[in-house]
Amino acid sequence: MRSRLRPPTGLPSYAFPENAAIALSSAFRCSQWRERPKGHVVTLGRGAARSVRGVVERLLAGAPTPSWASAKDIREILSLAGVRLAPLEEVAPAADLAVQAAVRRGYPVVVKAIAPGLLHKSDVGGVALGLDDAAAVRAAVDAMRLKLRDAGHSLEGLLVQKQIDGGVEALVGVTLDPSLGPLLVAGLGVAESARGPPPRSRRDCGGRALAPRTAEALRMTRPRSPRSPRLSGRAESILPHGRSQCPRLASTRTRWSGRRT
């Protein structure tokens, strides 16, 4: 948009009326945003922030080059931030150990592969859902081992996690853009997600912070409630503030079961 200030009045001048309309619309939206209540800002306590920073600094000290944190370290960070996870265990890549973990956690369970350099587990068959007995767990582990081998990965461990039914599975994450700073990604998946500045308060965690299909999916989980869907629980805290608490943390991504609160 090109504009110039016409002295001495200081009034903006635009070459086309469309540009003036766009500027007026932007100014109106900005005024609405400035006039709305600030809402409750969600922050990490000082103790939790120091603990999270300590974990990240420990990981960075042991990794001279950029690398991904292990599942165990991610669980520790999320736990310190107050983000609840479904009960899980990490075991060696043996079917018998996976069955024992499933019995302790209770069926049905989800089994996920742990392998060096494996980021998107589902792309190579590294995730098995809805396993409701020992036979299903054994079959899933055996099939997973073969699929990872064919994809060039070595199975080094298994995550056995209690499956949570109901709700809406969605993706939420925050990353650092060299030009724009922290950016939030939230939605049903990579193709259906909204991207923008992280929310600073609970009021910002509403339907406008989500992609249209995601917001509608969360709204459908509790159709009687008139309020907007929003990110649930302490995910509102760790995502917008993770970068400020740990400025050397490049990105954070997790999945949550969206619910209306």
Is residue 223 a contact partner of residue 139, using CB atoms and an 8 Å limit? Answer: no
The one-character DSSP state at 10 is T
pLDDT at residue 92 in the model: 94
Which stretches does DSSP call E strand in 50-179? 88-91, 109-114, 127-131, 157-162, 168-177
Q: What is the enclosing helix (H) or strand (E) of 252?
A: strand 251-258
pLDDT at residue 90 in the model: 93
pLDDT at residue 163 in the model: 92
CATH number of 87-163: 3.30.1490.20
Is residue 243 helix, strand or coil?
A: helix
pLDDT at residue 162 in the model: 93
For the segment 4-61, what is each residue's pLDDT rounded down to a tens digit? 544 556 677 888 999 999 999 989 988 887 887 777 777 788 888 899 999 989 988 8
Q: How far does the chain reach from its first CA to its final CA, in angstroms?
A: 41
Quote the tokens at residue 101: 């973990």
Q: Give the HSE-up count for residue 232: Cα atoms under 13 Å, Cβ half-sphere.
A: 18
Peptide bond into 8 cis (omega under 30): yes
- pLDDT (tens place) for every residue of the chain, 261 residues total: 444 544 556 677 888 999 999 999 989 988 887 887 777 777 788 888 899 999 989 988 888 787 788 888 888 988 888 888 888 899 999 999 999 999 999 999 999 999 988 888 888 999 999 999 999 999 999 999 999 999 999 999 999 999 988 777 777 777 778 887 888 777 776 566 777 777 777 676 655 555 566 666 656 554 444 344 444 444 444 444 444 444 444 445 555 444 333
Please state the domain extents for the chain: 39-85+165-261, 87-163
- The CA–CA distances, whole Å, from 116 to 31, 89, 129 equal 49, 18, 22
Sequence-distant (≥ 6) Cβ neighbours of residue 116 within 8 angstroms: 153, 154, 156
Is residue 95 a contact partner of residue 142, using CB atoms and an 8 Å limit? Answer: yes
List beta partners, residue 113: 158
